[in-house]
Chains A and B, each alone.
Chain A
Amino acid sequence: MGSMFKVGALVLAGVLAAAASPALAGDPGVSKDRIEVGSFLPLQSGLSAGATQYRDGIDAYLKWINKNGGVDGRKIEITFENDSYNPQQAVAAAKKLVDRDGVFAIVGTLGTTNTVAAIPFLAQRGVPLLGPLGSHPSINTPTERVVFPISPLGTSHGRSLAAYAHEQMGAGTFAVFYQDDQYGKEMMQGVEAYAKETGLKIVGRASYVPSDVDVSAQALALRDSHPDAVIMAVIPKHGALFMLEAQKLGWRSIFLAPQLMADAVSMKLGGSALNGMIINLYAALETMDTDAVREAVAAMKEFAPQTAPGYWSFMGMAGARLFVAALRKIDGEPTRAKLMDALESLGTYDCGVIPPVTYAPGHHAGPTTFGYAKIVDGAAGKVELLKHWSE
């Protein structure tokens, strides 16, 4: 009897252990002197390197704002939660932040599956989600009013790279090397749409899956299709592998890829094989001479010195900058509804660290314009700005 009773007590204890978390539903996270916001990120997963920098970007900017007096005298405090890139944990993190911690808004999420899983809950509770970075229609062409995207559509990426190759570099034929998933296929669709409109030809297509460790066959096949330009819808590891293969083959062409290929990981993997690659910019380069970038770099230096300013930290910072910009437009006590109204009144808005987003009633869109840059020395991590998105 004794041991069985203990088993029952153990079950009871296990269930009641959960009770250590009283709910504070309905608290919007706004008090007299502070505003509490939250963020959930895959701080432990394959995306953790980017997620850590993304978090540091958000955190550094909000601390910078607090150091300079906050917004209307209120300091902004943020709680970060790890979702391990797991949908169930992402929903749990969102519910914890909203229902237990009582945050006002979610500022910054990273990853597709985890963010998409949490959107129905956030929409149901009317909690604004600013700065989600992922590749899914629910994130980038949202039907839920609470979602305010910061990333361009995959199709816009593909189109922008093809347009640059054709209009600035005179390319008449393309080959596409793409990741066989939503991300890669959307970019491919953008290239296809541009080629169709302009009567240009796609002469080669090759794909990979993220678990691939060798892309030599794809490099060989695309080289033999003799394209004027190669557009790459890739992540750093496979983009670098492809460029190393191209270097081995002595293949000289115009290679174009999204900005991810200019981050520290890509540079380290690809080294000099990346030299000459054209990238489209949807986040600022730390060397850009603008007020926003100077401020972003100073914030990173002061509050996240362990993280180099760059793509990930600026993308994270974008959501935080939009949040602060909208908060400053609110008259009176901030509410979630007023925050969304303020965001929708921004129209086409350039926060300085990413190209302009467009938020209006019924239409929330990430950037549609891009800047361009060239990797001049991959081994040394040197990138040269060719065109700012505002030009």
Chain B
Amino acid sequence: MRTVLPALAAVASALTAPLFLGPYGHYLLCMAAIYAMVALSLGLLLGLGGQISIGHAGFWAVGAYGSAILVQKLALPFLLSLLASGLLAGLVGLLVALPALRVRGHYLAIATLGFSLVIVHILYEWDGLTGGRQGMFVSRPSLFGHELGSDFQAYYLILAVLALFVWIVVNLRRSLGGLSLSALRLSDVAAQSCGVNRAGATLFVFALSAAITGVSGAFYGAILGQLSTDSFTLVVSLSFLTMAIVGGLNSVVGALLGGIFLAYAPEVLRAFEQWQMFIYGALLVAFMHFLPDGLASLPRRLARIGRRGDA
């Protein structure tokens, strides 16, 4: 009951919110859900697996371009292209995970950054396939041959896929595999001495995280309608990390809040014009100081403050 009610409230609000919004609001909801997938994948990798990545924009790009190429050039149905882009990004994630078996911390961060730069450069130079420096236009998402022409329609498809990922991640966290990853994060020597396969677990968490990010990228391209390599820079990877940390790495709710934060913060702060980045930076510092466990920990913090006030 403790988790069912809030979960139901969240689902109900996610389902009904578009009814009160216009097309601009629908677009932002789509973006929030797309970003939430990335935050979910980073929560999995960083929060559960303890592996850092500052190259997630690379996985995002693989998914975005992979899906766009399959739809535009091979006329594959969008749903199949989603699946394929997830698999493709997952495969690339496996490759990137190889250095993670040998290095960690800063070194792993640099390795993932290098991967992201290489991917973006390949996409930029591969004119014939990706449109290179001119980029490529991408069709709207579709479902069983029916084009989802409005963001209102597309939002529900994105939401359904996000819900699927939430279900997978929640169950993974509770499973033996999730516990193994937690154990590895806390002490890989202790975990291995208890029989946890470090290599297998690391490869798995990287691949799953990349796959979720790839699917998010596929949605991103289809909703935006246009792809260029400018959308997949280091700044984007860093904003993903920021989003995951601001939301809260250790919970699914944190991922959802992180997605909402990344989609809405620029819109809310737009009115502040040249002060926008200053306020954004100050907000991040404030979050780190007052909410180190992210927005997801806000109710707990407030409750603690309330109890202190009562006493």
Complex: A136 Cα to B6 Cα, angstroms: 48
CB pair A11 B10 closer than 8 Å: yes
Complex: A14 Cα to B299 Cα, angstroms: 14
Complex: A185 Cα to B134 Cα, angstroms: 12
Least Cβ distance of B11 to chain A in Å? 9
A87's nearest neighbour on chain B, judged by CB, is: B231
B-facing mask of A73-101, CB < 8 A → 1, else 0? 00000000110111111011101100110
CB pair A23 B137 closer than 8 Å: no
Which of the four size classes fits the interface of chain B?
35 or more
Least Cβ distance of B170 to chain A in Å? 14
B104 in the interface (beta carbon within 8 A): no
Chain A residues with Cβ below 8 Å from B231 are 86-88, 113
Partner of B28 from the list A4, A12, A92 (CB cut-off 8 Å) is: A92
**A3-B300, A11-B9, A121-B225 given as contacts; is B22 within 8 A of A16 (CB)?**
no
A-facing mask of B196-230, CB < 8 A → 1, else 0? 00000000000000000000000010001110101
**A23-B24, A44-B274 given as contacts; is B134 within 8 A of A4 (CB)?**
no
Complex: A99 Cα to B22 Cα, angstroms: 7
Partner of B299 from the list A7, A17, A81, A181 (CB cut-off 8 Å) is: A7
CB pair B6 A4 closer than 8 Å: yes
A6 in the interface (beta carbon within 8 A): yes
Complex: A297 Cα to B208 Cα, angstroms: 59
**A43-B274, A181-B133, A182-B133 given as contacts; is B5 within 8 A of A5 (CB)?**
yes
CB pair B228 A11 closer than 8 Å: no
A221 in the interface (beta carbon within 8 A): no
CB pair B13 A23 closer than 8 Å: no
Chain A residues with Cβ below 8 Å from B7 are 8
Partner of B6 from the list A5, A23, A87, A91 (CB cut-off 8 Å) is: A5
Among A5, A7, A82, A88: residue with most chain B CB under 10 A: A7
CB pair B303 A6 closer than 8 Å: yes
A362 in the interface (beta carbon within 8 A): no
Selected interface stretch from B40-48, B78-86, B181-189, B264-272: B264-272
From 1 to 37 in chain B, residues with beta carbon under 8 angstroms from any chain A beta carbon are: 1-3, 5-10, 12-14, 17, 20-25, 27-29, 31-32
CB pair B135 A12 closer than 8 Å: no
Among B32, B133, B231: residue with most chain A CB under 10 A: B133
Complex: A194 Cα to B12 Cα, angstroms: 64
B273 in the interface (beta carbon within 8 A): yes
From 270 to 311 in chain B, residues with beta carbon under 8 angstroms from any chain A beta carbon are: 270, 273-274, 276-277, 295-296, 298-300, 302-303
Least Cβ distance of A122 to chain B in Å? 11
Selected interface stretch from B65-73, B90-98, B172-180, B252-260: B252-260
Complex: A113 Cα to B23 Cα, angstroms: 22
CB pair B22 A25 closer than 8 Å: yes
Complex: A94 Cα to B255 Cα, angstroms: 27
**A21-B24, A44-B276 given as contacts; is B302 within 8 A of A6 (CB)?**
yes
Number of A-B contacts (CB under 8 A): 155
From 93 to 136 in chain A, residues with beta carbon under 8 angstroms from any chain B beta carbon are: 93, 95-96, 99-100, 113, 116-117, 119-121, 136
B235's nearest neighbour on chain A, judged by CB, is: A86
Chain B at the A interface: mostly helix, strand, loop or mixed? helix
Least Cβ distance of A109 to chain B in Å? 14
Partner of B13 from the list A5, A16, A86 (CB cut-off 8 Å) is: A16
Chain A residues with Cβ below 8 Å from B10 are 8, 11-12
A-facing mask of B109-145, CB < 8 A → 1, else 0? 0000000000000000000000001110100000000
Chain B residues with Cβ below 8 Å from A5 are 5-6, 9
CB pair B270 A81 closer than 8 Å: yes
A249 in the interface (beta carbon within 8 A): no
CB pair B270 A82 closer than 8 Å: yes
CB pair B137 A18 closer than 8 Å: no
CB pair A9 B6 closer than 8 Å: yes
CB pair A23 B23 closer than 8 Å: yes
Complex: A3 Cα to B300 Cα, angstroms: 6
**A8-B6, A11-B13 given as contacts; is B266 within 8 A of A116 (CB)?**
no
Across the A-B interface, the 7 shortest Cβ-Cβ residue pairs: A23-B22, A8-B6, A6-B299, A120-B225, A8-B9, A12-B13, A11-B10
Q: A12-B12, A43-B274 are known contacts; what are 19 more A-B pairs with Cβ within 8 Å?
A: A1-B5, A5-B6, A6-B298, A6-B302, A10-B298, A10-B299, A11-B6, A16-B17, A18-B21, A21-B25, A22-B22, A44-B276, A85-B230, A92-B24, A92-B27, A113-B135, A117-B224, A117-B226, A181-B133
What are 15 of the A-B contact pairs (CB < 8 Å)? A4-B2, A4-B299, A6-B6, A7-B296, A8-B5, A9-B9, A11-B257, A14-B260, A16-B20, A18-B17, A19-B25, A21-B21, A21-B25, A84-B276, A99-B23
